[in-house]
Structures are given as C-alpha cells and as structure tokens.
Amino acid sequence: MRTAPTHEPSTERTDHATPQKGVATSTPLMSLGQVPWQEIQDSTGCAAAIPLLLNGVAWGDAVTARTALGELRKRICQYGFVVEQATAATVPFLWELAQLPHVTCRAEIIQLLKCIADARQWESTAAVYPKLLNHRENHVVWERAARKAVHARRGVLRRLLDEEDGDIARATTELARTLGE
C-alpha cells in the first residue's frame, strides 16, 4: 500500500532570470512566417525568396550577408530608389537586423533604410502622369507604405547612434536626418 507523499522542499529554481532591458527576448526574424510572402511582389515577381535572404543577412558570414543584402536591395529598393510591394513588409525585419551585434553588414542595412525613406520615384511620376494611380498595382501606395514603415521604427535611432562603430553611427546620422530626427 502506498503512503501519501510527504511535502518536502522543492529543488526547482524559482528565481528565473529576467531579461536585460533593451535586449530582445525572442529569436531574430521569428515573425517572418506571419507575412504572406507568396502573395506579394518584389522586383522579380513573387517575394517568396525574401525570408531566405533576410536569414542570409542575419546568420551568414560577412560575404554571405553582404551578398544576401545586395540581392535583397535589388528586390525591394531597386536602383536605390524604386520600392516594391514587398518593401514595407521587409522594413521591420531590416530594423531588427540593424540592431543585432552579430550581423556583419549593419551599416549597409541602415543605408538601405535611408534609401527606402528617401524613395519618391512613383510619387514623382504620378505627379506628372496621374493615370498611374488608376493601375491595379498602385506603386505610389507601396512607396508611401514603405516610407511609413521606416518612420514607424525610428525610435531605434538613439540606440544605433550610440554605437561605437563609426560606419553605423554615420549611416544612422544620415537616416536620422532623412527622417527629420
């Protein structure tokens, strides 16, 4: 016959570590799957490759990361000023990567964010050719959404301005100027 268990002190830890202030508590790029990449367009067509490129930037060595970022730039901000439908959805991930110390091309990511914030190609064209606004794929809306996405995360600028890396600080200063900060 079994006896009732005795109530002995637990050996489990109850003092769980609390995360440091300003440190991400989740794995980078965890929400990539929440974006319907198959349903949106980049400069090549379907934007399904964007998560792979972002992961290449996040986890690749210096050469892999720069190559992935270069390909990503062509897809979401072609020529440095032509944004696409997928650009706004990609911007929050770029902000996330720009803050991660292990990412090797952070200054270039910040420069890409500046290019997106400066983009007015479609808006300028629509000012001259208003019929552009009547197309099923409204590039002006995409461009505005992309700029809005960059502005939405501008609170990160202060942290990036404090970086010791001169290239990151310079790129952040230029982005801050573009955003009117």
Nearest CA to 79 out of 122, 41, 133, 142 is that of: 122
Residue 112, both tokens: 């890409």
Q: In the prediction, which pLDDT does 22 show?
A: 43
Round to whole Å and give the CA distance between 59 and 157: 23
> Quick check: pTM over 0.85?
no
Position 11 scores a pLDDT of 38
| Spatial separation of the C-alpha atoms in residues 110 and 106, rounded to whole Å | 6
Q: What is the spatial distance between Cα 41 and Cα 48, in angstroms, rounded to a whole number?
A: 8
Q: How far apart are the first and last CA of the chain?
A: 75
Q: Residue count of the chain, please give it.
A: 181
* CA–CA dist 123, 109 (Å, integer): 24
Alpha carbon 96 to its chain centroid, in Å, reads 5
Residues of the chain with pLDDT under 70: 1-26, 126, 129, 132-136
Output the pLDDT for position 1: 44
